[in-house]
A and B are shown apart, each in its own frame.
Chain A
Amino acid sequence: MARTVGKAVGKSPGKLPIKASGRSGKKASGKAAGARDRALGLLDKKLVLNMLDLMVKSRALEERLIKVYKTGDAYFWIGAPGEEAFGVPLGLLVDKGHGPAHDFLHLHYRGTPTLVAMGMPMIDSIRLIMNRATDSSTGGRNFANHYCFPKWNVVPVGSPIEVQYSMAVGTAMAQRRRKMKKEKAGVSIVTGGDAGSAEGDFASCMIWSSRPGAELPVYMTVQNNKWGISTNYDSQHGEKHVSDRGKAFGIRTNVVDGNDPIESYFAISQDLEYIRKNTKPVLTEFMVSRLYGHSSASGANRENGECPIERFEKRLVDSKYITTGFVKELWQQYDDESRDAAEKVRAEGVPTAESVWDHIYVGSENADWRKF
């Protein structure tokens, strides 16, 4: 983790901070990890295992969504296989709740791991991809992974790339105002891809969140999988790292191995701590994988690339945290859970034609001009 602005916590790039601890507040145990994997030992073992559990759960869910798509029960899939080692720690570290006192989540269309870690039941995601009337996020109106959960400040995920970064300025402004009045206020967390950072909204977020004396509690994260659909990162970016751009604005920046949940966990927890304490933005880039291509439009087939879960499993087996048998059972359990959920959803009702007029205006008034 290369920290470039702000307090240096690691002694040199690549080293993990010593002070950080798990969200549980428990001291890092270090018991089982052994000398070979010092970083692992810095986190509570329960937390480490919980992360693995949630990563597997998230992947099993995404693989179910893909199956649902491939068997013709959905029209489109897009999601997050390959981003679990970033998304799960983020979900665990969010201050979850409704309103500016808590964190806002401005997610893009790869948010499943974060929401699984926050406690979203699998069935909610399946209702969304299968466009059921029971889909609370969009009422059967939008694509997979276009989540919306107001109870957790998960504002609607939209398809237009990058607008979430500039919208985060507004929620962060509301949070800053409360902070200045010594009220409790959360952070506005944004996720998005590498290619999308070319949109002006990304620059708007940096510019607006770093105005001297009016800095905003925005956590700008970029999940760099090196691709925007078919376009390679190296062909479009003169900057070495997207996050380097933050330096010009005095924004604290990091580049993190987003395929390592331990490194991600430390980075996110320290970034959030810094933002909460200083009411200033942070821009952190997580290097991640895109394991099933861009979306179902490109086939949704397993592609080459490092799998963060396989890597983590191996690490935990090597460190004797778990056995391979345990891993197998875990996958089985979540595969079953996802299948049962999909079965249940299949039997649920679908949106009616008349419902197109619902919720255009508050109270569904005045929607159809023929009626006024």
Chain B
Amino acid sequence: MANMAQAIRMALHYGESKLGVTDIFGEDVGAPLGGVFTATQGLKTAWNSPLDERGIVSTAIGLGLAGDRCVAEIQFCDYIFNTIDLLKMAGNTLWCSNGQYNMPIVLMTPVGAGIRGSVYHSHSFDAWATRLPGWKVVMPSTPLDAYGLMISAIKDPNPVLFLKPKALMRIKGEELIPGEPLEEKELKAMIDAPIGDRSKWKPRWPAVGEFEIPIGKGKITREGNDITVVTYGRHVLMCNKVADDLATAGISAEVIDLRSLYPYDWSMIRESVRKTGRVLFVNEDTEVTNFGEHLAYRVTQELFYELLARPRVLAGKNLPGIGLHPNLEEASVPHGHDIEVAIQEVMAEVP
């Protein structure tokens, strides 16, 4: 099965060959590297930009204003912060122009810790991203979802921020992408650039097909009755595992992979929390003014009398960065054990 980098690559290929994408660009996005996580290898419209994040975002905005379709990349979200004013402008263009100018651009960027990336390759951007009205924000946890969300993002007439959980880029999926060859080796031989000289290399794209994950739709990855765990990105994998482990201990946890942060699947959260009466929101961005807090607030407002315990947010510690030594990284962002403890604490509350 394809890994997430390959899935994104195939979606971008679909975008440039079927959906009119004219430019896929950013630092080291074009040949020979095809992106630091290889997500843009072999694409015919991929090119290397100057080392200038503001230039990347504003060029994307300009392409959008001109009516072209682009997918731009910020190499790591850690380096997106000096573009915040431009992101705000992309988000407010439709509104400020009284509905006259769409901003149909996709901006993708790897996020999160989990690869021993130290202070500047471990930042999260989800909480920040949800403070950019006008943008849709998505974050897949599987290759197939990455494929489907990228296609939806490209088709969407609004600016879409596609957050790539960098720790999952090499994780293989469990579901085939439409058109993907059955054999992993075959896919690799077709679309992975060779080590060494690549100057003559060209990918052989499988005939990948149309497949959309609608923006705004979550997915229940574990069904359960006792507690709802709402998460996204790499923490979906951790929460699934904890849910499996706790099942043997008699706790039945329902895990929701939000997939879209904005708009988010409120009806899925609502129905699940109504069923369980308990909810834990898990993500790794810093905890003070975290996106999970908004969701916890809404749960409190709309489902207060149906709750059996206080809604809880488990997020990254309120620290200025993620330290490189594992002792530091592990103390900074939620891991399986933290999730398990949090679930048990919420379960232990008596109304």
Residues of A within 8 A of B (CB): 75-76, 131, 138-143, 158-162, 195-196, 198-200, 228-231, 235-236, 297, 350-357, 360, 367-369
Q: Are A353 and B330 in contact (CB under 8 A)?
A: yes
Q: Which residues of A contact B250 (CB under 8 A)?
A: none
* Distance, CA A231 to CA B325, complexed state (A): 30
**B32, CB-defined interface residue at 8 Å:** yes
Q: Are B28 and A231 in contact (CB under 8 A)?
A: yes
Contact with A along B220-251 (1 / 0, CB 8 A): 00000000000000000000000000000000
Q: Are A229 and B324 in contact (CB under 8 A)?
A: no
Whole-angstrom distance between the Cβ of A352 and the nearest chain B Cβ: 6
Q: Which residues of A contact B78 (CB under 8 A)?
A: 159-160
Residue among B50, B54, B78 with most chain A CB within 10 A: B50
- Name the one of A143, A230, A368 contacting B118, with C-beta atoms under 8 angstroms: A143
Q: Which residues of A contact B330 (CB under 8 A)?
A: 353
Q: Are A230 and B331 in contact (CB under 8 A)?
A: no
**B33, CB-defined interface residue at 8 Å:** yes
Residues of B within 8 A of A (CB): 27-28, 32-33, 36, 48-55, 78-79, 82, 116, 118-121, 288, 317-321, 323-325, 327-328, 330-332
Residue of B nearest to A194 (CB): B51
Residue of B nearest to A236 (CB): B50
* Distance, CA A75 to CA B54, complexed state (A): 30
- Name the one of B27, B116, B331 contacting A228, with C-beta atoms under 8 angstroms: B27
30 A-B residue pairings within 8 Å (CB atoms): A75-B116, A75-B118, A76-B118, A140-B325, A141-B321, A141-B323, A143-B118, A143-B120, A159-B78, A159-B118, A159-B121, A161-B51, A195-B51, A198-B55, A228-B27, A229-B28, A229-B33, A230-B28, A231-B27, A231-B28, A231-B48, A236-B50, A352-B327, A353-B331, A356-B328, A356-B332, A368-B317, A368-B318, A369-B288, A369-B318
Q: Which residues of A contact B324 (CB under 8 A)?
A: 75-76, 131, 138, 140-143
- Name the one of B27, B36, B120 contacting A159, with C-beta atoms under 8 angstroms: B120
Residue of B nearest to A298 (CB): B33
* Distance, CA A160 to CA B121, complexed state (A): 10
Residue among B51, B321, B330, B331 with most chain A CB within 10 A: B51
* Distance, CA A236 to CA B27, complexed state (A): 11
The 4 closest A-B pairs by CB, nearest first: A159-B120, A230-B33, A353-B331, A198-B50
Whole-angstrom distance between the Cβ of A166 and the nearest chain B Cβ: 11
Q: Are A158 and B120 in contact (CB under 8 A)?
A: yes
Residue among A140, A200, A231 with most chain B CB within 10 A: A231
* Distance, CA A228 to CA B29, complexed state (A): 12
Q: Which residues of A contact B82 (CB under 8 A)?
A: 200
Q: Are B79 and A160 in contact (CB under 8 A)?
A: yes
Whole-angstrom distance between the Cβ of A144 and the nearest chain B Cβ: 10
- Name the one of B32, B118, B331 contacting A354, with C-beta atoms under 8 angstroms: B331
Residue of A nearest to B47 (CB): A235
- Name the one of A195, A230, A231, A360 contacting B320, with C-beta atoms under 8 angstroms: A360
* Distance, CA A110 to CA B118, complexed state (A): 17
Whole-angstrom distance between the Cβ of B131 and the nearest chain A Cβ: 19
Q: Are B51 and A142 in contact (CB under 8 A)?
A: no
* Distance, CA A76 to CA B79, complexed state (A): 19
Q: Which residues of B contact A162 (CB under 8 A)?
A: 51
Q: Which residues of B contact A368 (CB under 8 A)?
A: 317-318
Q: Which residues of A contact B119 (CB under 8 A)?
A: 141-143, 159
Q: Are B51 and A199 in contact (CB under 8 A)?
A: yes
* Distance, CA A200 to CA B300, complexed state (A): 45
Q: Which residues of A contact B116 (CB under 8 A)?
A: 75-76
Whole-angstrom distance between the Cβ of B314 and the nearest chain A Cβ: 13
Known: A141-B118, A141-B321, A235-B48. A200 touches B54 (CB 8 A): yes
Q: Which residues of A contact B36 (CB under 8 A)?
A: 229, 297
